Amino acid sequence: MAEQWLTLLTELGFPIAVTFYLLHRIETKLNTLIESIVALPDQLK
Residues 9-43: tens digit of each pLDDT: 788 888 888 898 999 999 999 999 999 999 999 98
Segments in 1-45 forming alpha helices (H)? 2-44
Average of per-residue pLDDT across 1-7: 81
Q: For residue 2, what pLDDT is reported? A: 80
Give pLDDT, residue 15. Answer: 87
CA gap 23, 29 in Å, rounded: 10
Domain boundaries, the chain: 1-45
Nearest alpha-carbon partner for 23 in 15, 35, 34, 11: 15
pTM, whole model, 2 decimals? 0.58
At residue 41, the pLDDT reads 92
2: left (phi over 0), alpha (psi -120 to 50) or beta: alpha
